[in-house]
Amino acid sequence: MADPMKKTPVREQDPEVRAKNFDEVCFGYDREEAMDEATRCLNCKNPKCVQGCPVSIDIPKFIQELKAGEIGEAYDTISESSALPAVCGRVCPQETQCEGQCIRGIKGEPVSIGKMERFVADWARENGIRPKAAEKKNGHKVAVIGAGPAGLTCAGDLARAGYDVTIFEALHKAGGVLSYGIPEFRLPKSRVVDKEIENVKSLGVKIETDVIIGKSVTVDELMDEEGFEAVFIGSGAGLPMFMHIPGENANGVFSANEFLTRNNLMKAYLDDYDTPIHRGRKVAVVGGGNVAMDAARTALRLGADVHIVYRRSEAELPARAEEVHHAKEEGIIFNLLCNPIEILVNEDGWVRGMRCIRMELGEPDASGRRRPVPIEGSEFEIDVDTVIMALGTSPNPLISSTTEGLETNRRKCIVANEETGQTTREGVFAGGDAVTGAATVILAMGAGKAAAKGIQEYIESKQ
């Protein structure tokens, strides 16, 4: 029987073993553990957890179904709100969302909602259960740009409502950040991501890869010539940022996007694949978000000693608590309150070290976090041969610059109504990182969901 105050522990690969492989770190709950954990839910009348969920899954309902052993029903409940439950159960920052609101969490540990969601989704997949497709098609065509979390969610919701949906994906593989960004050891590709995408396809959604909107075809052509009544833009985050410090173009300096794309999408860590990757000896990853943790733990698995270099303190690390915890367990060294000022380059043009300066926290800045301030005279060098910049991204202008009437803001993000996804161009909706700048999988899914509703209302209002 579960301890009411504590989460049912979840089995994980031993840190020393997993630091050398790309297999999934967390094994997840089995049926017994999941059902046991379900007994900890208080089934609140006014469930705060649902408010904390960007896609408003009826959490108490699925937990009660799970508790009763009705796992298929629990899957149906989750599927009504989420197109990608096996993904969300693994990568959502539950501690700041559903579990952050959990009443159980006031005195003890919150109910382990994410791990239960994962179990239910995995169980459904292993038992061949798929989400329910629409019984009747309504004949309206909608185009979705980008097969990432926002696009897949928007497409899934519209298809379930009977719409004829085609997703256009720029890369050769669907999934967006789920395929190119998040590593195998956190989100298995063929076992989880590909299956979730197949589920979306089973709802009737078509996915056309290798199509770059703004280049291969424009939004205007989709609407005027290909007969799409509405378009959803979920094109994702875009261009990696650099620090603009000396030495940044040296050999051995990579954006996290490049490093992770080579490894995850192109599978450079597997011998059978042609794409090369640079396995550093001593790697510094600059940044403190989930992408930084992913890059650091990937470099570690490729055989390097890895340092995280972050300019604020541990409390400000934007990464999920679980990722930081896992990274530390695996032996990643955290150089906090430390900022690079120069990358040192040898005569062949390769990185030979990085010059940093120590930081201290000053007054809070616009983000509410205390501003890091350099401590004069505290410069020092660290011995690295590889630097990975994980500093965030800025939006890709490909679509906004080729679509008439689509407004962007100061940060070059597409302007869209938060509740409907409506942009400044009629019939064109947007959501996810293309609108908000780099954020999380689940926030993008929430935006895709809102836009699906907005698109339905728009098309209905035209009739």
Residues that bind other proteins (CB under 8 A): 170-172, 180, 209-212, 215-217, 238-240, 242, 244, 248-252, 254-255, 257-258, 261-262, 266-267, 271-278, 348-349, 396-398
What do you get for the CA distance between the two ends of the chain, in Å?
56
Of 44 and 239, the one with the shorter C-beta distance to other proteins is 239
Q: Minimum CB separation from other proteins for residue 245, in Å?
A: 11
Of 333 and 439, the one with the shorter C-beta distance to other proteins is 439
Q: Minimum CB separation from other proteins for residue 102, in Å?
A: 36
Q: Minimum CB separation from other proteins for residue 268, in Å?
A: 8
Q: Minimum CB separation from other proteins for residue 369, in Å?
A: 26
Of 159 and 399, the one with the shorter C-beta distance to other proteins is 399
Neighbour tally for 312: CB within 10 Å: 20
Q: Minimum CB separation from other proteins for residue 119, in Å?
A: 31
Of 212 and 373, the one with the shorter C-beta distance to other proteins is 212
Of 217 and 333, the one with the shorter C-beta distance to other proteins is 217
Of 2 and 239, the one with the shorter C-beta distance to other proteins is 239
Q: Minimum CB separation from other proteins for residue 440, in Å?
A: 18
Q: Minimum CB separation from other proteins for residue 266, in Å?
A: 7
Q: Minimum CB separation from other proteins for residue 281, in Å?
A: 13
Answer yes or no: are the C-beta atoms of 130 and 152 closer than 8 Å. no
Of 267 and 370, the one with the shorter C-beta distance to other proteins is 267
How far is the C-alpha of 101 from the C-alpha of 342, rounded, in Å? 42
Of 104 and 301, the one with the shorter C-beta distance to other proteins is 301
How far is the C-alpha of 301 from the C-alpha of 21, rounded, in Å? 6
Answer yes or no: are the C-beta atoms of 103 and 40 closer than 8 Å. no
Two tokens, residue 153: 């969610």
Q: Minimum CB separation from other proteins for residue 450, in Å?
A: 25
How far is the C-alpha of 219 from the C-alpha of 213, rounded, in Å? 7
Of 202 and 251, the one with the shorter C-beta distance to other proteins is 251
Q: Minimum CB separation from other proteins for residue 246, in Å?
A: 11
Residue with tokens 């993904």: 87
Q: Minimum CB separation from other proteins for residue 193, in Å?
A: 15
Of 102 and 144, the one with the shorter C-beta distance to other proteins is 144
Of 114 and 234, the one with the shorter C-beta distance to other proteins is 234
Answer yes or no: are the C-beta atoms of 402 and 424 closer than 8 Å. no
